[in-house]
Structure 1
Amino acid sequence: MTDALWQPVHAERAALAADLKDLTDEQWATTSLCTEFSVREVLAHITAAATLNPVRWMVGVIRCRFDFDKQVAMRLAEHLGTSPAGTLARFRDVVTSTTKPPLPVVAMLGETIVHGEDIRRPLGIRRDYPLETITRLAGYYASSDMVVLAKGRIGGLRLKATDGPFATGDGALVSGTTLALTMAMTGRKAYCDELEGDGVPVLRDKA
């Protein structure tokens, strides 16, 4: 079962590496949806997550005195490299990694897809995610606030996908693609523009 869960993680990492192989220096410097980071820095962050086992993660937490933002910045810097080509090469090295912090494997899928969209969206790159993969991820976020507030963000709302079986919650309706719902659940306000229903303003305010 664990191997089956890692397969979509590896597939999404490989797809992201392929999408980024021809970026210009200017594109690498583009501000991501995580507005404090460039797309290159977000990629380094994804790489870092794929190199941290529970022991290394905890050592970093202690070293940074439980300042998690400081640890993120420290690990990002470790994997940025000296050039965009170097950043991408480091990411390619971890495409098939099964190393992870003390998180469920599906959270690593979230790291790859959500941060992948943080990179792709500002660059105008679109990916058609396998419906089974993105539905699994949406279900995870709808039931968890681990790593990122998601379950708490959609409290009192009913989410329903227009392109697949994902549905959750009760209350004012928010409908749209599974990807748009997933990204909005994780606080990406830009994706609220792709959603419909009486609950959209509520979700937008929480993003």
Structure 2
Amino acid sequence: MVRTSASDLWPAVHAERAALAEDLADLDEDRWAVQSLCGRWSVEEVVAHLTAAASLGRFRWLRSMLGARFDAGLHNQRRLEEHRGATPAETLQRFRAVAGSRTAPSKDTAAWLGEVVVHGQDIRRPLGLPRTPPVGTVTEVARFFAGRDFAVPSRSTAEGLHLVATDGPFETGSGPEVRGTTLALTMAMAGRAAYCDDLTGEGVPILRSRCTPA
């Protein structure tokens, strides 16, 4: 079933957070230090970032951004450090504590679903963890990403390309075709070049050239 309302999307956000926490429950300390697909951040740092994202309402987010002079990178790093524990186990415990949160800087619930879907795969792929979010969940993120440049320039990344999911209803745009799973298309729109390896079509080189470090 395709989710279209915030009341439907929040349970999906909560389910993805819980699934990620479960995937990480038995991770040894060395693997917490593995570099994720999200720029320079380690697995543990991405988890701390997700905790921060689930802990900041609009006012606290705005105050943090003002303090960082609207440097999103600095804002994210400060909040990550705030929510990172003294050990990976504590970092995971803090993430579990906000798994059911509906706190967010804006009402763009699809964006916060995208936050946990994308960062979940930023973690899982380097660690070789097999879970894939449900197609219906990822389809909502793909549609949001194709329609707006929000936390990532996803709409611009997909511009002029015809994206076609091979496992669900997502299809958008016109131009050189790019085919693959909804998850691979979504991750590529989020700038993760590694997922371009999972795609086919004449538009793949164009899409890959637009992927930049997170």
Compute the TM-score of the two structures, normalised by the length of structure 1: 0.98
Summarize deviations over 1:143-187 as a string: whole Å, max 9, x none: 010111000011110000011111000000000000000000110
Letter aligned with residue 96 of structure 1: G
Alignment partner, residue 110 of structure 1: 114
Which segments of structure 1 move beyond 4 Å, counting only runs of 4 or more? none
> Aligned pair 1:55/2:59, yes or no?
yes
> Aligned pair 1:66/2:70, yes or no?
yes
Which residue, 93, 99, 105 being the options, matches 1:101?
A: 105
Letter aligned with residue 114 of structure 1: V
Alignment partner, residue 77 of structure 1: 81
- Of 163-172 and 120-129, the range deviating more from structure 2: 120-129
| Residues 1-207 of structure 1: pairs in structure 2 closer than 5 A | 1-207=5-211
Q: Quick one: distance in 2 between partners of 1:65 and 1:103?
A: 23
Summarize deviations over 1:97-125 as a string: whole Å, max 9, x none: 00001250111101100001001110001
Letter aligned with residue 102 of structure 2: T
Secondary structure in 1 matching 2:154: coil
Taking only aligned residues, the RMSD between alpha carbons, in angstroms, comes to: 0.8
Letter aligned with residue 26 of structure 2: D
Shift of residue 127 of structure 1?
1.3
Q: How high is the sequence identity, in percent, across the aligned residues?
A: 53
- Of 95-104 and 165-174, the range deviating more from structure 2: 95-104
Q: Quick one: distance in 1 between partners of 2:134 and 2:150?
A: 24
Secondary structure in 2 matching 1:175: strand
Compute the TM-score of the two structures, normalised by the length of structure 2: 0.95
Shift of residue 5 of structure 1?
1.7
Q: Quick one: distance in 1 between partners of 2:171 and 2:7?
A: 26
Unaligned runs of 5+ in 1: none
Unaligned runs of 5+ in 2: none
- Of 118-127 and 102-111, the range deviating more from structure 2: 102-111
Aligned length: 207
Q: Quick one: distance in 1 between partners of 2:204 and 2:107?
A: 30
